[in-house]
Amino acid sequence: MTIEQYLDKVSRFVGHQYGQLIRERFADDDGQSELAMLEVPTRTELEELKRAVAIMTPREKANVAGLSDEQIQRIAEDAKADPANMAIFINGYVLLCQRVL
């Protein structure tokens, strides 16, 4: 699975009523639900992830598991994306790839 295919998979419940229920279920005391982001990103989160994936170089996409925290943060900053969500997205993708392979 490519990172673009994973992004499509992550986007399946954006704007969906069921997705909102999942986000609410995983919300913390502050109303944040970062852990649900991989199953149900908000439209804003999805747009940020799309920008981040779009600016990744072919080399970065081919070696996602080898990206350092600093590289992930730089990609997020360049894409004007939340660095924590980018890290969650990258880690989710790497874990999926390791489980599938």
State residue 29's pLDDT score.
62
Q: Cα(1)–Cα(41) distance, rounded to whole angstroms?
A: 19
Q: pLDDT 10s per residue in the chain (101 long)?
A: 999 999 999 898 887 787 777 777 776 666 565 656 677 788 899 999 999 999 999 999 999 999 999 999 999 999 999 999 999 999 999 998 988 65
State residue 42's pLDDT score.
83
State residue 34's pLDDT score.
60
State residue 48's pLDDT score.
96
Q: Cα(94)–Cα(23) distance, rounded to whole angstroms?
A: 22
Q: Cα(90)–Cα(49) distance, rounded to whole angstroms?
A: 10
- What would the DSSP string read from start to end of 20-67? HHHHHHT--TTS--GGGTTTS--HHHHHHHHHHHHHS-HHHHHTGGG-
Range of the domain at 62: 3-100
Q: Cα(81)–Cα(70) distance, rounded to whole angstroms?
A: 14
Q: Cα(79)–Cα(50) distance, rounded to whole angstroms?
A: 9
State residue 40's pLDDT score.
78
Q: Structurally, how many domains does the chain consist of?
A: 1
